[in-house]
Each structure stands twice: as structure tokens, then as C-alpha cells.
Structure 1
Amino acid sequence: MKMHKWLLVLLLTWAAGFSGPAVAQTTSEATSTVEYSSQAPASSSIEMADMMRRDGKIYIVVAVLVSVLLGVLLYLISLDKKIGRLERELRQ
């Protein structure tokens, strides 16, 4: 049961890390200060991501990533159950 709690904490921590807004950094040459903006400049846009989003393929990438992560999570949970069962049998 402890493994489930650790996996849940790990999953929530991972999700919290990616839930924040993306922040782009630009530097000003004259004042040498760092400005923070919630929007990236048009010159530094990523063409591949825009093309995949436009074609709808980004959803396939997200679906594959989610299914792989869920598969790993389910495998770890089943492995924890099997190890727990073997430990109980060993104690008896």
C-alpha cells in the first residue's frame, strides 16, 4: 500500500510541474535586465509544434505519451501487489 502512495505523490508532483504557464525569457541589451513574458516572440515559434497542432497530430502524440505513462504506472502497481503477496507467503 505504501507503493501506491509514493506513486500517487510522484504522479501529482509530475503533473504539477507541467501545469504552470510557459514563460519565455528575453534580455534587453541596453539595460541588461531580464524581462518575463507569457507569450513567446513570433520569431522563436516552433514550426514543428505549430504544424502538428494544425494537423491534429499533436493529440496522437499526447495520447501515446499518456498511454505509455499509464502502462508503466499500472505495471508498477501490479508488480507491487505481486511482491506484497510473495512477502506475505514468505512470512507464513
Structure 2
Amino acid sequence: MKMHKWILVLLLTWVAAFSTPAQAQPQETNTVEFSAQAPNASSPEMADVMRRDGKIYIVVAVLVTVLLGVLFYLISLDKKIGNLERQLKQ
């Protein structure tokens, strides 16, 4: 039981430390230029565009939300299995 609390505290601390608040950005017309050259492997354009537009934070927020949901589901499942094991021992 205590291990679950420590994992939850560590996870929430990690999320709080590495998350940035969403900021409203003014609407701008951003154009992306496409070239006929092969894409350079050292600079991913999609990540740069998403970072510049602020959409990368939405992706990170969705991923963190999904991972937190899976973690909470596993913790609740562990509690239910523990209760069933205790009932079987009695």
C-alpha cells in the first residue's frame, strides 16, 4: 500500500516538474514551405513546426493523461486482486 503512494507522489512530482502551462497564442498565418530535396534526418521538420505552434505540449499532455490513466487502472486492479487473495486465504 505504501509503495503505491510513493509511486503516485513521484509521478505527480515528475509531471509537475516537467510540464509547462498552456499559453494562449495569437492566431497567425504560419506557412510551411516544402522543398524538392530529401528531408534531412538531423532536423525533423514536423517536431519543429509543432514546437513552434505550441502543439507539442498538447501531444505531451495527452500522452501523460493516457499513462496516468493506465497507472491508476493498474493500481486499482492490484487492490482488487489483493482483496480477492485475502478472501481466498480466509
Give the TM-score of the pair, scaled to structure 1. Answer: 0.55
Q: Residues 43 and 65 (structure 1 numbering): CA distance in 2 closer, same or farther, change over 3 Å?
A: closer
Identify the structure with the greater strand proportion.
Answer: 1
Cα deviation, residue 83, structure 1: 0.2
Q: Report runs of 4+ in structure 1 exceeding 6 Å deviation.
A: none
Q: What amino acid maps onto 1:90 in structure 2?
A: L
Q: Which amino acid aligns with 1:59?
A: Y
1 CA distance for matches of 2:85 and 2:41? 58
Deviation at 1:43, TM superposition (A): 7.6
Count, aligned residues: 62
Looking at structure 1, the residues matched to 72 and 42 of structure 2 have their Cα atoms a distance apart, in angstroms, of 38
> Structure 1: which 5+ runs fail to align?
16-41
Percent of matched pairs sharing the same residue = 82
Q: Does 1:91 align with 2:89?
A: yes
The runs of 5 or more residues in structure 2 that have no matched partner are: 15-39
Q: How does 1:22-33 map to 2 (within 5 A)?
A: none
User: Which residue matches 1:73?
Assistant: 71
Deviation per CA, 1:37-65: give whole Å up to 9, x if none.
xxxxx982110000001111100100010
Higher relative contact order (CA 8 A, sep 6+): 2
Q: Is the Cα–Cα contact under 8 Å of residues 3 and 80 in structure 1 kept in the other structure?
A: no
TM (norm. structure 2) is 0.56
